């Protein structure tokens, strides 16, 4: 039997967590509201967003090796033979290092610590595809050999109203060229090489959704095994996400394609801001 451990930097949907049931554990990042520490997953998402929208200082810290060790030992004690420990990109967080330390102290031969080189809903779609291979009879080690291909088949796009959060938290990545230009530009951001990067730029917010849809359309053209996730941060951005979803469904061939909605975990929104919306697509 296989169990799965992730961190809150991966955009695990409620539906997927329910599918995995007791075989799944999420180790939450440490989220700080001012000087108060919380574990992501144990603080209500809307409570967090209410704080960040007021301008309260927020930050995150990676889980400790002890946090992962507790998760691994529990799952092995519960009778699982192997654990897939799947994590947010090592280019944006040291979380995977804590997981590796923990795995070595438990049973490294049975714990497969894996770097998604992706974030949020992008990491989730990668994990889901790996699990589909395993459920269809492929050994986990063989499925993990396909991770580079799975990553290439995954697209994540997101928009922010300000780069302040990415700059403040050192997560600007390859999007540094936009600094100082955000008032003139509406950037469409993505993940490349495990870091934030610019996918495209819209001249004005009104063209933003159209460009995002066109990128998705080109990416998914003639692809199979398609799945989509629409993501948003605070409730104040839900309508914008719904508009994006509506335009995608009107302009992209996604009939009968599984579509999920993700209210982003605070871990990601600390770095992207409370007005983030996005879309993640998988297709091969």
Most confident of 81-85, 155-159, 183-187, 201-205: 81-85
pLDDT in tens, 52-75: 777 777 788 999 999 999 999 999
Boundary (domain end) residue, out of 151, 171, 206? 151
Q: Which helix (H) or strand (E) holds 45?
A: helix 45-53
CA distance linking residue 214 with residue 155, whole number of Å: 13
Domain shared by 92 and 172, yes or no: no
**DSSP β-bridge partners for residue 58:** 33
CA distance linking residue 138 with residue 143, whole number of Å: 6
With respect to residue 114, please indicate whether it lies within any of the assigned structural domains: yes
Domain shared by 85 and 105, yes or no: yes
Q: Are 251 and 220 in contact (CB under 8 A)?
A: no
Show the domain range for 73: 2-29+64-151
Boundary (domain end) residue, out of 101, 136, 151? 151
Q: What six digits make up the tokens of 146?
A: 């396909």
CA distance linking residue 48 with residue 31, whole number of Å: 9
The reported pLDDT for the residue numbered 253 is: 86
pTM attached to this predicted model: 0.91
Boundary (domain end) residue, out of 102, 133, 151? 151
Nearest Cα to Cα of residue 227 among 150, 283, 279: 283
Domain shared by 116 and 230, yes or no: no
Q: What is the DSSP letter of 10?
A: B
């Amino acid at each position: 039997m296989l169990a799965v451990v992730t961190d809150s930097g991966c955009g695990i949907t409620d539906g997927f967590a329910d599918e995995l049931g007791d075989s799944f554990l999420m180790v939450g990042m440490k989220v700080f509201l001012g000087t108060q520490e919380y574990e992501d997953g144990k603080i209500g998402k809307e409570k967090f967003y209410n704080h960040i929208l007021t301008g309260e200082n927020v930050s995150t810290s990676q889980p400790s090796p002890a946090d992962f060790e507790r998760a691994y030992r529990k799952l092995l004690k519960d009778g699982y033979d192997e654990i897939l420990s799947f994590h947010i990109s090592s280019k944006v967080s040291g979380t995977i290092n804590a997981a590796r330390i923990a795995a070595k102290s438990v049973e490294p031969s049975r714990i497969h610590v894996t770097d998604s080189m992706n974030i949020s809903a992008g990491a989730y779609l990668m994990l889901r595809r790996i699990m589909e291979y395993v459920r269809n009879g492929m050994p986990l080690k063989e499925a993990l050999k396909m991770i580079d291909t799975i990553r290439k088949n995954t697209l994540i796009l997101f928009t922010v109203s300000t780069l302040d959060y990415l700059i403040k938290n050192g997560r600007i990545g390859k999007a540094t060229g936009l600094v100082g230009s955000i008032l003139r530009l509406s950037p469409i951001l993505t993940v490349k090489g495990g870091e934030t990067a610019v996918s495209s730029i819209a001249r004005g917010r009104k063209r933003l959704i159209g460009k995002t849809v066109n990128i998705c359309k080109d990416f998914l053209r003639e692809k199979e095994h398609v799945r989509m996730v629409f993501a948003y941060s605070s409730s104040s951005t839900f309508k914008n996400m719904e508009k994006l979803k509506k335009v995608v469904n009107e302009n992209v061939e996604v009939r009968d394609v599984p579509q999920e909605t993700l209210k982003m975990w605070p871990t990601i929104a600390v770095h992207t801001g409370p007005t983030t919306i996005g879309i993640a697509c998988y297709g091969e």
